[in-house]
Amino acid sequence: MKVLDGCEFFPDIGIDVLIKKSLIKVSDDNQYLWMHALLQDMGRKVVEEKCVDEPGKRCRLWKERDVHHVLTKNTPLHKLKIVNLEGSENLIQTPDFTTTPKLEALIMEGSTRLVDVHPSIGVLKRLKLLNLRDGKSLSSLPTKIRMESLETLILSSCSNLIRFPEIDGKMEHLKTLDLSSCYKIEYLPVNLQQVEFLEELDLSETSITEPLPFIFLLKNIKILSFNGRKGPSYKSRPNLPSLFKVIQGRWMNPIAPMLPLLSGLNSLRELKLRDCNLCEGDIPRDTSGLSSLTDLDLSGNNFISVPASLTQLSKLEFLYLINCKKLKYLPELLAFPNPSKTFDIIIPGSEIPEWFSQQKSGFSIKIPLPINLRKDSQWIGVASCYSFVNNDASCDIEVVDCEAFIYCRNSEEASCNGSIFQGRNRRQIDWSGWLVGKRFNEPIMKDHLFLRYWPRNKLYPISMEDKYGDCETNNLWTTDCLDWKCDELELSFIKSSVKVKKCGVRIVYEKDLEEVKELQCHTTQSSPDHEHIHQHSAHNDDPSVSITSHIKGKRNIYEEAEEEGPQL
In 416-526, alpha helices (H) = 456-459, 513-526
Residues 6+ apart with CB under 8 A from 285: 307, 309
- Residue pair 306/281 in contact (Cβ under 8 Å)? The answer is no
Q: Quick one: average pLDDT of 135-164?
A: 94
Query: Can you tell me the distance from the alpha carbon of 171 to that of 153, in angstroms, rounded to the nearest whole number?
Result: 11
- Strand, helix or coil at 141? coil
Q: Indicate the pLDDT class of residue 3, thresholds 50, 70 and 90.
A: low
pLDDT at 537 over 50: no
Q: Kindly write down the DSSP assignment for every residue of 191-235, as one continuous string.
A: GGGG-TT--EEE-TT----S--GGGGG-TT--EEE------GGGT
Task: Kindly report the pTM of this predicted structure.
Answer: 0.66
| Residue ranges per structural domain of the chain | 1-35, 350-511
Say how many Å lie between the first and final Cα of the chain, rounded: 55
Of the candidates 516, 133, 108, 83, which has an alpha carbon nearest to the alpha carbon of residue 339? 516
Q: Indicate the pLDDT class of residue 402, thresholds 50, 70 and 90.
A: confident
Higher pLDDT, 410 or 19: 19
pLDDT at 503 over 70: yes
pLDDT at 552 over 90: no
Residue percentage of the chain with pLDDT more than 70 = 67
Q: Quick one: average pLDDT of 308-323?
A: 82
130: phi then psi, degrees, rounded to nearest 5: -130, 115
pLDDT at 436 over 50: yes
Say what the pLDDT of residue 108 is. 94
pLDDT at 340 over 70: no
Residues 6+ apart with CB under 8 A from 466: none
- Work out the number of other CB atoms within 10 angstroms of the CB of residue 50: 11
Of the candidates 294, 286, 290, 284, which has an alpha carbon nearest to the alpha carbon of residue 266? 290
Rg of the chain taking only CA atoms, in angstroms: 28
Residue-wise pLDDT tens digits, 110-142: 999 999 999 999 989 999 999 999 999 999 999
